[in-house]
Structure formats: structure tokens, C-alpha cells
Amino acid sequence: MKPGTTSAACAALLRRDLALIWRRRGDALNPLLFAVIVVALFPFALGPEAQVLERIAAGTIFVAVLLASLLSLDNLFRSDLDDGSLEQLVLSPHPLSLLLACKIAVHWLTTALPLIAIAPLLSVFLHLPDTVLPVLLGTLALATPLLSLIGAICVALTAGMRRSGMLLTLIVLPLIVPVLIFGAGACNAAQAGLPYGAPLLWLGAWLTLALVLAPLATAAALKISLT
Amino acid sequence: MKPGTTSAACAALLRRDLALIWRRRGDALNPLLFAVIVVALFPFALGPEAQVLERIAAGTIFVAVLLASLLSLDNLFRSDLDDGSLEQLVLSPHPLSLLLACKIAVHWLTTALPLIAIAPLLSVFLHLPDTVLPVLLGTLALATPLLSLIGAICVALTAGMRRSGMLLTLIVLPLIVPVLIFGAGACNAAQAGLPYGAPLLWLGAWLTLALVLAPLATAAALKISLT
Amino acid sequence: MPAIDLVDTPPLLAAHCLAYARNEEPIFGPLDFSLAAGEVVLIEGDNGSGKTTLLKVLSGLLEPTSGEVLLNGVHLTLAKLSHQVALLGHLAGIKMELSTLQNLRFAVGLGGIRPGITPPLALASVGLAGYEDQPVRLLSAGQKKRVALARLLLVPAALWLLDEPYANLDREGIELVNRLLTTHAQRGGAALITSHGAYAYTSGTPRKIALNPGTGNRESAIGPKSTPTKDASA
Amino acid sequence: MPAIDLVDTPPLLAAHCLAYARNEEPIFGPLDFSLAAGEVVLIEGDNGSGKTTLLKVLSGLLEPTSGEVLLNGVHLTLAKLSHQVALLGHLAGIKMELSTLQNLRFAVGLGGIRPGITPPLALASVGLAGYEDQPVRLLSAGQKKRVALARLLLVPAALWLLDEPYANLDREGIELVNRLLTTHAQRGGAALITSHGAYAYTSGTPRKIALNPGTGNRESAIGPKSTPTKDASA
Amino acid sequence: MNPLVLWFHKLGSPPYFYRLAGRFQPWLYALALITGAVGLYGGLFIAPADYQQGDSFRMIYVHVPCAWMSLFVYVFMAANAFVALVWRIKLSETLAMASAPIGAAFTFITLVTGSLWGKPMWGTWWTWDARLTSELVLLFLYLGVIGLYHAIEDTRQAARAAAFLALIGVVNLPIVHYSVVWWNTLHQAQTVSLMGQSKISSSMLWPLLTMAFATHVYFFASLLARSRAALLALESGKDWVREIALRESAQEARAHG
Amino acid sequence: MAEFFHMGGYGAYVWAAYAVFAIVLVADALTPLWQRRRTLHDIAARLRRESTRDGARKNRAPTTQDPTA
Ligand code: HEM
Ligand SMILES: Nc1ncnc2c1ncn2[C@@H]1O[C@H](COP(=O)(O)OP(=O)(O)OP(=O)(O)O)[C@@H](O)[C@H]1O
Ligand SMILES: Nc1ncnc2c1ncn2[C@@H]1O[C@H](COP(=O)(O)OP(=O)(O)OP(=O)(O)O)[C@@H](O)[C@H]1O
Ligand SMILES: [Mg+2]
Ligand SMILES: [Mg+2]
């Protein structure tokens, strides 16, 4: 009678979460579709003029990606909570923060990465200049993991409630506004021909910090909201 | 042993749904918050220039209201499905379309109406000219019930699945594009000093049609997805 | 709206060659049985033998693959079913957020009410007096079940379909269910209940329908048996 | 990591003055009891008497209002609990989308495995051979319960906390649970199970802890009783 | 009974349809391949370069047939959806659901090739022109039907729900089209209609028509193949399917030693 | 020949369009084959499983009727 190793537990968790997402791969596409749809709504709402769309392109794409990954965050612990798996995770002998880091990684890989991959298409819809596209992709690559990590803390805080839904958005919002300002700001600067290195560096620094601290904070928040 | 009258059943349903929303009034505010947040993100994403914001104000508010009421639509039948109440509704001796019309009405009253009420605040955020505000409110008053009615059909179609989430958005999108085009189009026309009566008339005509047909279609869709 | 006092009409419920298959896999096989007013019949079967599925078919929530169901001698359609059948499944259609009394009031609004009973009375008679304003969410598993039972008392349905009504109930609750069933039968109602044979309905003429597990029980044993099974805890 | 072969250490689990109150309302009153290795104890009580709550407290999911719990003579903290307690509640932590085997594999990855058993063996021994690739969602209520039981077989936990393990199971399933409990007790494990007294654990020395319903049972009757209750269906 | 009605009745029986479709399918694939090859040869080698667009006009031979197909398939799907909902014919459900992914594929090709054509011609990959926008909405409709079909557990129920959506989409498409036209002309006229009225010479025309024929034939071939696969899944409990499954697995076992 | 591939400067666009056309349709043609194989596989596996299930059931409950499948 001996418990398994922590790495075995993490591997089991990764394998299970990926298997679950594969089983519901239709659902996994949802954030992607949502972002596409939000972006596609704007031309209808604003009219088809290219100059207007071009001006708002980077910002709108950023907002759409952000909303899509926030809305999908809600499911991060939801189903585990509903069927009692989360209790089992908390009761397991392994460090909870590590297990949660695995879950966050799976979330980023399966929602944010496809969003980044589809960003070029979105930028075509809104006539984003080709020169700005690399900057957009770079900022998204830095900003989305930051969103997943920060979001996870907030989801953990609201995990005790059923249907936290949009309250989550409210809690996350103040935390991610800086990410939005720096991310979209870098793109807008690039579009206007201004230097855009500084905001990217800031994002990188925050990301490093969040990678270390967010899983610990998430574990603490989860323990608070479960007992 | 006699069953109650249909009007008693509708009254009971309205009373229950309102009581439920009152019990979870925190949740009921969520669409409102979501719309405010989406609108509030845009100045951060685009920068504070008033001319840009003014140009996109009406369209962005429309998109935000639309997304907020779509996302809340998902809950229209969700909880009733989860706890078996929907089965009881379908099994009841009263016309299902009438019962569903009551539910849709409650949804509109508790999500869209507050959104319309808050639209003036949103338009301040984005520097919408004061002259356009009445047009915006008028189009929203016509467009949001249309959204609720069209959305209800789609929700009923997806009721058979657990966690339809954003698939719903995908299904609804093609159906509401005309609403968005005419609604936001009227506002944009008003802002540009052009006549805007025709799109309003169109919206009104569609609304009348939808009021009659949508509950029937919703009932048909629900029966398909429940049996 | 037809009156439903049909104590002397021959079979309240009759099934001919009723079968259900999910994705072509037979769940329960061609069944023939009938249920007279005043009768309570127990559906027995192992785990996975299709008891829940049978009740769903009989309540009109699932469409049978073959066979037909007659209610009072007429074909059963969804609309006709509505106020003659009360289903108590795993999901009771009870709102966790609302109080017990609010839930019952809604059930009455939707389905009508039997004469001579009110929601508070029904709550009292399932042993939940004093819990009128308690949100159902805060009740224990057995207490929730009792709320669902109170709904049965209120709604004027002649046929009760009860899926494992005894599960989660304490001894008193089990007696309560038996009492409810006896009264219902005496009033001319009928009931089909599933159970694993542990707590049989003990008064009246307990008949059983046996479902053979999984095999699509093509020649399932049906007919009156008289031994209530009490030897379960062996 | 400490070894858990503790057949001769005095009490596996001991509770002193354990009480839980929700919003100042006592749910179960100060309880004193102990559980030796090799013992299976039945928690009895009416609906709403706090059985589920007691198990949640003992598993560390709820914090007791007062009193303390000792596991092998040491204070019980969440971290210590982890691999010595296996909880089978109403929610089994089983993914409906995954197959039975995938679920058990994950449980093993997370909690480790007892020597001499594998997930497919465990499935076979709860009577689910042949259901290895079936998504749990497609199983009946009793079959789901069996998957949860299979998890207990795999995970190396000395103390089992089982909330109504007999509910939804057929007669064969009930025997299965009793068999599992006997084996577990013989191996030096211990178990606390709730039940409404219908199917008592019949071999070994069945002891009971009674919770008085609702009153916050401040002077609850605790101690060994020897009559298993079989007279439930009266 | 009228022999034609009888034949339709028989066609509705899955094993009969499966066998019949199995007999037609290879011939349809072959015909599509041959006419497609002829059409492409004509389009790429025989047709002269356009005096205005140069060689870029050769995109017409994939773009336009696929654009036509994207609309044709939707009509076909909706017609089957209607039959499926009204008369509850299992085969129509299958056909409707099998045509959705093919239609989505043609729509996707139309959008991509149109984009690839638009870049050199209009200088942009995408504009919010009425026709383009309607085509995008059409893609969303297809995706919605497919998504709904796959998201619902029970296949027959899923088919009925998706069929319902397809029918609503039929009503909606003209509305979208005209609202987009109206919207597009509100502010400024987009100068899009480059090709609308240009007269086309017969050496340019016949490859186009051949390609159109080839894509139609391909559609039916693919439809039959998809329906056959779907019928196997739908009827997986029936003996005729079990026989096929056992036969194939035995063959496979032999092939692997 | 090079001129043919060059397509008067539009080569990249034209060939990309034809490539998309070919790739998408080939993928579309292959899907049913793949689906068919998987379905038959699943059915064969299920038949095998069902036979073990029936076997297990017979051992547990000798009174149940012999399944005719
Ligand atoms: C993404 C961009 C595009 C999309 C979505 C698109 C879509 C369509 C559709 C749906 C049709 C069929 C219309 C019908 O039969 O009623 C069509 C036809 C056609 N398209 Fe495109 N198109 C695009 C770009 C282009 C471009 C750039 C050109 C050439 C400059 C072009 C030339 C044509 C021609 C010649 C026809 C046939 C016209 C006819 O049958 O009347 N398309 N396109
Ligand atoms: N949603 C479903 N989809 C597919 N198969 C299902 C589904 N629900 C149940 N089954 C299968 O159908 C069979 C009958 O299930 P059912 O729930 O009717 O059994 P039951 O007699 O109620 O069993 P229990 O006593 O365990 O509740 C089982 O073999 C089960 O695996
Ligand atoms: N989440 C909750 N919040 C507040 N009170 C609760 C909650 N859950 C249960 N209760 C109350 O606590 C008491 C004990 O509940 P518990 O679920 O422990 O009972 P139980 O003994 O398991 O009953 P049963 O046999 O019906 O399952 C009950 O009176 C119940 O109403
Ligand atoms: Mg059942
Ligand atoms: Mg309990």
C-alpha cells in the first residue's frame, strides 16, 4: 500500500484532462468560434468601411480573445467541482498547486493556442495591416498565458458558488486591464509606427512572475472556497 | 381531480421564474455587468481618442448588449432541464408554446430591460452624441425582444446537450446578423444625419412576426430535443 | 377535459409488445402487461436491466421502439398522458433555490390540484411540517425525496410512476411511501414502482414485473406473484 | 511517506466531542467514538440527522465546529488524511465522459495502487467485466455505483467512509458491498458506513453509531449494539 | 402498389440503400475524377488568358463551381431536412446530415479561393461585400448544423434538431442577403463587380461547365460514401451491420497474420 | 513550363487556390472511409465485449435465459 509519485499523478491528470477534451472536442472549439464571431459582428455593427475597421482591428481582436478565454475559464474547475473530482484532487497526497498548474497548462494549450493560431484570419476580417500582425501575435503569446494564470486564481475563488458565470468576469477585469492596455497598446503603437518594445518587456516580466506565483495562489484560493 | 386552467399555469410559471430570479438576483445582474465590461474594455484597447470612440459607440454598445443577452440566453432552459422541471412542463396539459412564451417574457424583462436602462451610461463611456441616444434606445427596444425570441428557438434546439455554451452563439449568429445590421445601421445613419426610419420599420415588422411564430418554433424545437 | 374517476374501467394501463432499444441495442424486450385501477405493481430487475428506461417510456419521455401503450383503453400520446401520469424519477423537477412550499405551489399551478388537500397539508403529511420556508437546497437527501412525494399527493394523476421511491429514505419514510401507495390505490389510482426488491409494497396485492438484465428479455416473466421479497439483506 | 500497515495500533480513528453546526444550528452533537482497525461501523439516523455531514467532517472536507479527530493517534489534518481515507459520497469524482477503465486509471495515478490488483481486475470484481470501454455516462444508476466501489478496491486507503453504499444496488450488489467490507476489515482496514438500517453489514462485529434526527443530538447514544436490523420493510 | 412508390419504399430500407449505394459509388467517383481532369486540363491549358485579368482568371475553374455547389448543397440539404421532419424518413435524415460537411467544404473552398482571387484583383483578402458576407454566413450556418448534429447524443434526435436549424437557415439566407445589400450601399458603393458582365468565350466556358458537372457528380459520390458510413453507425445493432463488421474484422485479422 | 507555373505573376495565388481545392476535396473523400473503418471497428469491439458480458452474467445468475444473440 503505497501512494504513487507526484509526477505520476501529474501525468495521470494531464492524460485525463486531454482525454476529456478529446471526448468533447466539439466543445473545445467553442472559444475559437466565439472569438471569430465577436470579431465578425463588428463590421456588421460599424459598417464595412475599411479605414474604421483598420483603426480598431488590434484592439477588437484583443478584446475578443480576452473574452473568449475568460468565458472558457469558467469551465476550468466547474465540471471537476460538479462531479466531486475536485474533492479528490484536494484530498490527494500531492501538492495541489502542481496539480492545478497542470490543469492551467491544459487550459492554455487547448483554448489560447488555437486562438493565437486563428488571429491572422481575424486580422484579415478587420483589415489589420500585415506589418502589425507579428506584433499582435507576439503580444497575444505573452498575454494569453497571463490571462489563464490570473483567471485561474479568480476561478478558484468563485469555485464554491454554482454558476459564478459573469461575476468571474467582474473579478478578473481589474486584474487584466493592465494586460489589455499593454498588449493592445503595443499593437496600436506598432500600427502608428511608434516603438513598442517596452510594453512587451513588461508583459514578459509579469508572465514570469505569474508562472511562479499563480499556481500557489490558485491552490490557496481553492482551499478557501472549498471548505 | 381536475387540472388547473392554462392561465393559472402561466401565472404559476411567471411567479416561480420571477421568484427564482429574485433568489439569485446576484446572477441576474451578470448580463448587465458583462455589457458594461465589454464596453469599458474598448477605451483601454483602442486608446482614449474621442473621435474614434464616438464613431464606434453605437455599434459597440449594440454588440455588447447582443453578446450579453445571448450569453444569458444559455440559462433560459438550462436549470429547468438539469432538475427535471422541463420534463414537467412538457408533460403538463397546457400548450407548451404559451408556457415558453412566459419564460421568454421573463427573460426579456429581467435581462434586456435592465440593459436598455443602462444604455445611456454606456453611451457616455463612448461619447455617443446625445442626439443619437433616443434612436439607440428605440432600436434596442425593438431589437432585444427579437433577440430573445430568436435566441429561444436556438436554445431549445441545443437543450438536449449538456453545456451547449458557445455553440449557441454560433447557431444564433447567422440569425441575428440582420437584426444587428438594421439596428446598428439605424443608429449609424442617425449619427451621420441620414434618415433612419426604414430600418426601424423593418425591425418592427420582424418583431411582430417573431412574437407570433417564435414561441411555436421554440416549442417544436424543444420537443425535438427532449424526446 | 375528461374526468379521470375510472375505478371500474378495465385496465388503467396496458402495454402490448412494448420494447425499447437505444442505438439498436435492446434495453428491455417486448413486454406485455396491464395495470388495473387500484393496483400497485413492482418492477424488479438487476442494475442496468432497464427499469428506469421503462418508466420513462411509459411516461412518454422516450418513444418506444415498438409496441403500444394504452391508457384507459386509448392510445397513449404525449398530450393525453399529461395529467394522468405523475413521474417521480431521479430528477424530481424541484428547484433547489425555492422553498418547499413554493415548489409545491408551482406544481399545483401547472398540474392542478386534488380536492381536499393544500400544499401545506401535503408537506405536513410527508413529515416536513416546519420546513415550509426552507430552500430545498438545504435539505438532506431523504428530505428532498419527501418533497417530491408531497407533489404526488397534490397533483391529480391517476397513474404514478415511481423510480426507486424508497432509496435514501429512512424506515419512517419507507412506511410513508407504503401508506401513500395504499391510499392512492384505495382511491382508484394505480402505481408502477421500481425497486431492488428490498422494500416491497406490502399491502394490497403486490404483483411484480421482472426485467431480465440486459438480454433484451424477449420472453420476460410477467404475471402475478404473491411473495413480497423481504430476504434482501442476506 | 509512512507505511500504513497498522493492524495492531490501537484506534485507527478516534473522535472526541466532535460536533458540527451550520450557521450556529447544531447538525450533529458532541460525538465520542473510536474505530479500531478491522472494524466496520454503521452510522444510523433518520433523514436529516447529519450522517452525510459527519462523513464530510471526518474526511476533512468540512471543518468541525468543535472537538477533534485523531487518526492513528495523531491529529487529523487535511494533508495527513489524504491517502488514508477514501470517501464514497453521493458524488464519486467519476467523469461521465470517460470510460470506466480510464476513470480507474486516473484514480490510481492520483492516489496510488494497492499491490496485487489492477484496474481491469477491480472492474471484474465489481461485476463490470465487459464494460471497460463504456463511458460511465451510459451506465445505469447501480452500475455507476459499482465503478465507485471499484475505486475503493484500488486505492490504498485504510479508512473507508461510505455514504449510503447500498442505495441503488441490487441484491447482488449489496452482497458485493458486504464482501468488500469483510475483506477490507480482514486486511486491517476499517470502514464507517451510513445506512438507513435496511441492509446492515452482517458479518464481523457490526457496531452502530446512532444520530438523533435534527435535535443536534447532544446526548447521542453511542456504543456497540449487536442486532442488525432486517425488519425494515414493515 | 405503384412500382415507383415501391422502389422508394425499398430505397428507404437501410441495407438495400447501403448495397445499392455501394454499387454506384465507385462509378460516380470515377466519373467525377475523369470529368474533373478534363475540365482542369481545359481550364489550365486550353483556355486563353483573360485580356483583363491575365492568368489569374484561371481561378474561376475552382472558385465558381464550388460557389455554385455551396448553394446547391444547401438547397439539397434543406429539402432532405424538410422530408425528414415531416415524414420522419430515416434515409432523408442521413442524407441531410451527410451533405452538411460536403457543403461546408465547398463553402470553405469558395471563401478561400475567392480570397486568393481577391488579393491580386481588389488588393485585399477580404471586404464586407454583400455576396462575400452572405457566403460567410452560409459557412456559419453549415457549421451550426454540423455542430448541433455532433453535440447531441442521440443520433436521430440530433438529426432532427439539425434539420430544423437547416430549415430556419433557408428562411434566413435571403433576409441576410438583402439586409447586407442594403447595409453595404448605405455609406459608399464598394467597387466590386469586376466580372459580372464580362462576356465569356466558349473556350473559356466549356471547362467551367465541365468542372461544374464534375463537382456535382463528386458531391453525389461523396454523399453516398458518407451516408453509407453513417448508416453503419446508425444501424450498428442490426444483424446486417454486425455481419459486415465481423467479416471485415476477420479479413483484417487475416491480413495482419 | 516555368511560365505555366508562373501564371503571369499570379502563380502563387492560382496554385494555392487549386491546392486548397484538391486538399479539401481529398480530405472530404477520405473521411467516409476513415469513419467506416472506425465504426466497424467499434462494432466488432462491442460484439466482443458483449460476449464477455453475457458470459459474466451467466456465471453470476444461472437462472437467466440464454441470450439468443
Ligand atoms: C472571398 C471572396 C469571394 C467569395 C466569398 C465569393 C463568393 C462567390 C459566390 C457565393 C458566388 C456564386 C454566386 C451565385 O452563383 O449566385 C460567386 C461567383 C463568382 N465569383 Fe466569387 N467570391 C469571392 C471573390 C471573387 C473574386 C475576387 C472574383 C473575381 C474577381 C470572383 C468572381 C466570381 C465570378 C466570376 C463568379 C460567377 C458569377 C456568376 O455566376 O454570376 N469572386 N462568388
Ligand atoms: N443515456 C443512456 N445512453 C445509453 N445507454 C444507457 C443510458 N442510460 C442507461 N443506459 C443503459 O441502459 C441499460 C438500462 O439502464 P436503466 O437506467 O434503465 O437501468 P435500471 O434498471 O434503472 O438500473 P439501476 O437499477 O442500476 O438504476 C443499462 O445497461 C445502461 O447501461
Ligand atoms: N448545504 C447545507 N446547508 C445548510 N443545511 C444543510 C445543508 N445540507 C444539509 N443541511 C441540513 O443539515 C441536516 C443534516 O443533513 P445531512 O445531509 O447530513 O443528513 P443525512 O443524515 O445525510 O440525511 P439523509 O439520510 O436524508 O441523507 C439536515 O437537516 C439538512 O436540512
Ligand atoms: Mg434506475
Ligand atoms: Mg445523506
User: Is the pLDDT at A136 greater than 80, yes or no?
Assistant: yes
Index of the ligand 1 atom closest to the CA of residue E115: 1
Tell me if C181 is assigned to some domain.
yes
Beta-bridged to residue C44, according to DSSP, are C195, C210
Nearest CA, atom 39, ligand 1 = E196
- What subunits make at least 3 CB pairs under 8 angstroms with B? A, C, E
Asked if chain C contacts chain D via 3 or more Cβ pairs within 8 Å, the reply is yes
Structure pTM?
A: 0.80
Task: Give the Cα separation of F57 and F59 in Å (integer).
Answer: 5
Tell me if E148 is assigned to some domain.
yes
D2 touches chain A (CB under 8 A): no
Tell me the CA end-to-end span of chain B in Å, nearest whole number. 28
- A152 vs E1, more confident: A152
Task: Give the Cα separation of D194 and D182 in Å (integer).
Answer: 16
Q: Poorest-confidence range of C60-64, D35-39, D114-118?
A: C60-64
Residue F14 vs residues D227, E35, E117, F10: alpha-carbon distances, Å: 87, 20, 8, 6
* Per-residue pLDDT reduced to its tens digit, C182-202: 889 888 888 988 876 555 455
E167 touches chain B (CB under 8 A): no
pLDDT band at D228 (very low <50, low <70, confident <90, very high): very low
ipTM of predicted complex: 0.77
Domain residue spans of chain B? 6-226
- What subunits make at least 3 CB pairs under 8 angstroms with A? B, D, E
C23 touches chain E (CB under 8 A): yes
For B121-147, what is the mean pLDDT?
92
Question: A7 to chain D: nearest residue by CA?
Answer: D109
Beta-bridged to residue D34, according to DSSP, are D14
Q: How far is C21 from chain E (nearest CA, A)?
A: 9
Asked if chain A contacts chain D via 3 or more Cβ pairs within 8 Å, the reply is yes
CB A180 within 8 A of CB A66: yes
Distance (angstroms) between ligand 3 centre and the Cα of D65 equals 16
B18 touches chain E (CB under 8 A): no
Rg (CA), chain C: 17
CB D94 within 8 A of CB D148: yes
Tell me if F68 is assigned to some domain.
no
User: Is the pLDDT at B176 greater than 80, yes or no?
Assistant: yes
Index of the ligand 2 atom closest to the CA of residue D170: 25
Task: Give the Cα separation of A58 and A196 in Å (integer).
Answer: 14
pLDDT string in tens for chain E (257-residue length): 567 667 777 777 888 889 999 999 999 999 999 999 999 998 888 877 776 777 778 888 999 999 999 999 999 999 999 999 988 888 899 999 999 999 999 999 999 999 998 888 888 888 888 888 899 999 999 999 998 898 887 788 889 999 999 999 998 888 888 888 877 765 544 444 445 455 567 777 888 999 999 999 999 999 999 999 999 988 887 888 888 888 888 887 777 65
**Which ligand places an atom closest to the C-alpha of C143?**
3
Task: Give the Cα separation of E58 and E41 in Å (integer).
Answer: 11
pLDDT band at B135 (very low <50, low <70, confident <90, very high): very high
Distance (angstroms) between ligand 5 centre and the Cα of C98 equals 20
Question: Residue by residue, what is the 3-state secondary structure of B17-51?
Answer: HHHHHHHCHHHHCHHHHHHHHHHHHHHHHHCCCHH
Q: What backbone torsions phi and psi does residue E216 show, to the nearest 5 degrees?
A: -60, -45
- Cell numbers standing for residue E24: 454506384
Give me the domain span that covers residue E227.
26-185+201-244
pLDDT for residue B138: 93
Nearest CA, atom 7, ligand 1 = E132
DSSP B108-153: IIIIIHHHHHHHHHHHHHTT--GGGHHHHHHHHHHHHHHHHHHHHH
A 57-96 residues with CB < 8 A to B: 58-60, 62-63, 66-67, 71, 75
Tell me if F12 is assigned to some domain.
no
Task: Give the Cα separation of C99 and B32 in Å (integer).
Answer: 27
C213 touches chain F (CB under 8 A): yes
Q: Poorest-confidence range of B35-39, B97-101, B138-142, E77-81?
A: B35-39
- Tell me A193's DSSP state: T
CB C40 within 8 A of CB C9: no
Task: Give the Cα separation of D127 and F53 in Å (integer).
Answer: 9
CB D112 within 8 A of CB D83: yes
Q: What percent of chain C has pLDDT over 70?
A: 74
Q: How far is B75 from chain A (nearest CA, A)?
A: 10
Distance (angstroms) between ligand 5 centre and the Cα of D51 equals 6
For testing contact with chain D, the best of C96, C138, C170 (most D CBs within 10 A): C170
Tell me if C227 is assigned to some domain.
no
Distance (angstroms) between ligand 5 centre and the Cα of C137 equals 13
Q: Which helix (H) or strand (E) holds D35?
A: strand D25-36
Tell me if D196 is assigned to some domain.
yes
A47 touches chain E (CB under 8 A): yes
Give me the domain span that covers residue F28.
21-59
C139 lines ligand 3 (CB under 6 A): yes
pLDDT band at D49 (very low <50, low <70, confident <90, very high): confident
pLDDT for residue C13: 84
D125 lines ligand 3 (CB under 6 A): no
User: Is the pLDDT at B74 greater than 50, yes or no?
Assistant: yes
Strand pairing class (C85-88; C159-162)? parallel
For testing contact with chain A, the best of E125, E139, E175 (most A CBs within 10 A): E125
Among candidates F45, F52, F61 on the partner chain, residue whose Cβ is nearest the Cβ of D129: F52
Is the CB of F44 less than 8 angstroms away from the CB of E245? Answer: yes
Is the CB of C167 less than 8 angstroms away from the CB of D172? Answer: no
CB atoms within 10 A of CB A173: 18
B165 touches chain C (CB under 8 A): no
E 179-238 residues with CB < 8 A to B: 179-180, 182-183, 186-187
Question: E238 to chain C: nearest residue by CA?
Answer: C24
For testing contact with chain E, the best of F3, F7, F25 (most E CBs within 10 A): F25
> Ligand 3: which of D52, D59, D91, D161 to mutate, most ligand atoms within 8 Å of CB?
D52
How many domains, in total, are found in chain C? 1
Question: F56 to chain D: nearest residue by CA?
Answer: D129
> The sheet that has C207-211: what strands, in order across it?
C85-88, C159-162, C190-195, C40-45, C207-211, C222-223
D52 lines ligand 3 (CB under 6 A): yes
Asked if chain B contacts chain F via 3 or more Cβ pairs within 8 Å, the reply is no
Q: How far is F63 from chain E (nearest CA, A)?
A: 25
- Pocket of ligand 1 from Cβ distances under 6 Å: E 60, 63-64, 67-68, 110-111, 114-115, 117-118, 121, 131-132, 135, 194-195
- Cell numbers standing for residue B117: 436602462
* Per-residue pLDDT reduced to its tens digit, D139-191: 888 888 899 999 888 888 888 989 888 877 877 888 888 888 888 988 888 89
Question: A4 to chain D: nearest residue by CA?
Answer: D112
* Per-residue pLDDT reduced to its tens digit, E44-64: 888 777 767 777 788 889 999
Q: Where are the beta strands (DSSP E) in chain C?
A: 11-22, 25-36, 40-45, 66-71, 74-75, 85-88, 159-162, 190-195, 207-211, 222-223
Question: C25 to chain E: nearest residue by CA?
Answer: E237
Give me the domain span that covers residue C157.
6-221
D48 lines ligand 3 (CB under 6 A): yes
- Tell me B158's DSSP state: G
Residue D21 is part of a domain; what is its CATH number?
Answer: 3.40.50.300
> The sheet that has D11-22: what strands, in order across it?
D25-36, D11-22, D66-71, D74-75
For testing contact with chain C, the best of F42, F65, F66, F68 (most C CBs within 10 A): F65
**What letter represents residue A226's amino acid?**
L
Half-sphere exposure of residue C187: CA atoms within 13 angstroms, side-chain side: 20
Q: Which helix (H) or strand (E) holds C228?
A: none
Q: Alpha helix (H) ranges present in chain E?
A: 3-11, 14-41, 60-87, 90-122, 130-151, 155-187, 202-234, 239-255
Distance (angstroms) between ligand 4 centre and the Cα of D168 equals 7
Task: Give the Cα separation of C119 and C133 in Å (integer).
Answer: 12
Task: Give the Cα separation of D50 and D20 in Å (integer).
Answer: 9
Is the CB of F25 less than 8 angstroms away from the CB of E116? Answer: no
Cβ-based interface (< 8 Å): residues of E facing F: 29, 40, 44, 49, 54-56, 58-59, 62-63, 66, 101-102, 105, 108-109, 112-113, 116-117, 119-120, 218, 221-222, 225-226, 228-230, 232-233, 236, 241-242, 244-246, 248-249
Q: Alpha helix (H) ranges present in C112-224?
A: 119-125, 141-154, 171-186
For testing contact with chain A, the best of D53, D97, D102, D110 (most A CBs within 10 A): D110
**What letter represents residue E177's amino acid?**
H
